[in-house]
């Protein structure tokens, strides 16, 4: 239960405002530093919870004429993955919501942002046409390895060269997620020009190679 206690201590004071668990500011810093907004394509987030991070991505994307595709099942009980100390992810989400509807909290947060495209689906049922390009994607949905792999595939195939894909929960209390991400990186090493770990936020970012064989 240490994990649940840590989450509650860190985030409880902010729970009345649109909350994000990750600290999306570091993602936006990376997006800006790499000028991803100059590339052609939209942004995508798999796992948006209360929409706090979605709002931050969408405000940035709006300035550059881009959309944010926000994929979430909006069922806080859907992910029963346990952390190394036995805390279930769904129990963390339910504790935060205190009986509120996840979808309602999310809709209130993103209200007024007309560049958010909300996809209320299990991510295993989501796909995009090849014409839908992404410059940035972030994966923080279901923490089962088969979902992590699925969510990677959804984004990677449509990520433009030079685009960036990030995973949350790298090198933290979900060792199966870390192992899965390491295996994905090993399999796709030829297509990745750089990886960057942001340790305080448990994020790893993969930069897609410009062209096969070129840095």
Ligand X SMILES: C[S@@+](CC[C@H](N)C(=O)[O-])C[C@H]1O[C@@H](n2cnc3c(N)ncnc32)[C@H](O)[C@@H]1O
Q: Rule CB under 6 A: which residues touch ligand X?
A: 20-22, 47-49, 52-53, 71-76, 78-79, 93, 122-123, 140-142, 147
Burial class (CB in 10 A: 0-12, 13-18, 19+), 111: exposed
Whichever of 71 and 198 has its CB closer to ligand X, that residue is 71
User: Do β-strands 68-72 and 116-120 pair in parallel, antiparallel, or remain unpaired?
Assistant: parallel
Residue 193 burial (CB count, 10 A): 15
Please identify, using beta-carbon distances, which residue of 53 and 163 lies nearer to ligand X.
53
Task: Classify 133 in phi/psi space as left (phi over 0), alpha (psi -120 to 50) or beta.
Answer: beta
Label residue 94 exposed, middle or buried (CB < 10 Å: 0-12, 13-18, 19+): middle
Minimum separation from the CB atom of position 207 to ligand X (A): 20
Nearer to ligand X, 26 or 161 (CB): 26
Q: How far is the CB of 140 from ligand X (least distance, A)?
A: 4
Closest contact distance (angstroms) between CB of 48 and ligand X is: 6
- Distance (Å, whole) CA 185 – CA 101: 36
DSSP category for residue 88:
B
Which residue lies nearer to ligand X by CB, 126 or 185?
126
Minimum Å gap between C-beta 78 and ligand X is: 4
C-alpha to C-alpha distance for 165 and 139, rounded to whole angstroms? 8
Q: Using the minimum distance from each CB to ligand X, give the nearer residue, 68 or 209.
A: 68
Alpha-carbon Rg of the chain, whole angstroms?
16
Minimum distance from residue 103 beta carbon to ligand X (Å): 9
Q: Least distance to ligand X from the beta carbon of 25, Å?
A: 11
- Output 41 or 47, the one with its CB closest to ligand X: 47
């Amino acid at each position: 239960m240490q994990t649940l206690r840590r989450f509650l201590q860190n985030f409880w004071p902010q729970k009345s405002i649109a909350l994000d668990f990750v600290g999306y500011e570091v993602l936006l810093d990376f997006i800006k530093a790499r000028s991803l907004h100059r590339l052609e394509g939209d942004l995508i987030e798999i796992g948006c919870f209360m929409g706090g991070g979605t709002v931050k991505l969408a405000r940035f994307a709006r300035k550059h004429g881009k959309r944010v595709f926000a994929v979430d099942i909006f069922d806080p009980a859907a992910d029963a993955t346990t952390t190394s100390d036995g805390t279930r992810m769904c129990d963390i989400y339910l504790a935060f919501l205190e009986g509120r509807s996840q979808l309602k909290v999310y809709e209130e947060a993103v209200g007024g942002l007309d560049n958010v495209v909300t996809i209320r689906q299990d991510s295993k049922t989501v796909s995009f046409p090849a014409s839908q390009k992404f410059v940035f994607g972030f994966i923080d949905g279901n923490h089962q390895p088969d979902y992590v792999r699925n969510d990677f595939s959804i984004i990677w195939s449509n990520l433009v060269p030079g685009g960036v894909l990030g995973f949350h929960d790298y090198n933290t209390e979900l060792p199966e997620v870390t192992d899965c991400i390491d295996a994905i990186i090993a399999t796709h090493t030829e297509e990745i020009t750089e990886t960057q770990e942001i340790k305080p936020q448990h994020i790893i970012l993969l930069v897609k190679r410009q062209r096969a064989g070129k840095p």
